Amino acid sequence: MRFFKISIEIHPLFYLFMILSVMTGYLKDFFFITLLITVHECGHIGMALFYHWKIERVKLLPLGGLTIFKEDINRPLKEELMIALAGPGMQLMFYLFFSNIVIDPVFRHYHILMLLFNLLPVVPLDGSKIANILMNYHYPFLKSYRGMIGLSVITIILLMGMIWYLPFNMMFVLIVVFLGIEVFRSIQRQHYIFNRFLLERYQKRYFFHKRRVVRNGFEREMKRDYYHIFYQRENCYSERQILAKRFDFPRKL
C-alpha cells in the first residue's frame, strides 16, 4: 500500500491486534492507538523530508510504527537526532493540543503508554535510536552500536521479568517476542553495519568539519561526523589509505 509515494507496510501483529480489538469490544482503544501511531510517524516523516532523507517504507506495529530510511549511515548526527525526536515531539504536541477537546481518559492512557513504550532503549524503538546517537557523540561508531545492543538486551530481560510477574497479556507477550527477535537480528548484523559504515567512508567524499587523530588505532576507533588521521608506528595515514587496506581494493590512492 502506498500513500503520497510512501510505501506503507502493516505488520501481521497489527492485524492480530485489530482482530482482538474487534472481538473484545475495544474499538475505541484501537482507534486512539492507530491515531497516535499515525501522528507519531508523521513527525518522523516530516522532519526527514525537511532534511531531504529518502524514505523507503513505513511499517505499522501494534503499539508504534517504524519509518525505514534509505540513507547513508554517515549522514550528520544532528539530522538523525532531530528525526528521532520528531516522532515523540509530534505526538506530545498533538496530545497537548487535543487533550482539551478530546476529554477521554482512554486517550490520555494510550498517549502516555505509547510515548513511554517508544522511548524504551530497545531496538528498533526511538529510545534505542536516541541512545545510540547520543553515544555516537562521545564514542566510536562500533562501540556505540554495541552499547545500543547492550541496552536493548537489558531492557528485553526486564520486560521478560514483567511477563513473569504481571497478569498474563497475550499482546504484551507478542510485542516482547517481536522486540527480542529484532535485538537478535541487530546482534547478527553488527559486522555488516560496521563494514557498511566504513565502506561508505571509502567510496564517498564526505566533508567533516571536525578532525580526529587516532594513534596506534584501527578502524574500530572511527567516529561519525569526524575525519580521521591515523598514526601507526610513526607513520601517518589518511582514512582512505587505512580503509583501502581493510577492503584490499587494488586501486591507486
* Measured distance CA(20)–CA(27) in Å, rounded: 9
**Rounded-to-integer distance, Cα 229 and Cα 188, Å:** 30
Instruction: Report the DSSP beta bridge partners of residue 212.
Output: 228
- CA–CA distance from 58 to each of 33, 87, 229 (Å)? 16, 13, 38
Other residues' Cβ atoms within 10 Å of the Cβ of residue 9: 15
Task: Cite the DSSP H helix spans in 51-137.
Answer: 77-98, 105-118, 126-136
Q: Cα separations (Å) of 149 from 103, 115, 140, 187, 205?
A: 39, 21, 14, 7, 29
Each residue's pLDDT, cut to its tens digit, for the chain (253 residues) gives 666 667 787 877 777 777 877 777 777 878 888 888 889 999 999 999 999 999 888 888 766 778 888 899 999 999 999 999 999 999 999 988 887 776 778 888 888 988 998 999 999 899 999 999 999 999 999 999 999 999 999 999 999 888 888 787 777 888 888 899 999 999 999 999 999 999 999 888 888 889 888 887 788 899 999 998 988 877 888 888 888 888 875 554 4
Strand order in the sheet with 64-69: 2-3, 6-10, 55-61, 64-69
Q: Is-contact 142 218, C-beta < 8 A?
A: no
Kindly give the pairing relationship between strand 55-61 and strand 6-10.
parallel
Sign of torsion, CA 214 147 88 32? positive
Distance separating alpha carbons of residues 135 and 147, to the nearest angstrom: 8
Q: Which residues of 165-190 are buried (b: 16+ CB within 10 A; e: fewer)?
A: eeeeeeebeebbebbbebbeebeeee
Task: Report the chain's terminal Cα–Cα distance, integer Å.
Answer: 46
**Distance (Å, whole) CA 32 – CA 25:** 14
Cell (9 digits) for 44: 518522523
Rounded Cα gap, residues 144 and 93, in angstroms: 30
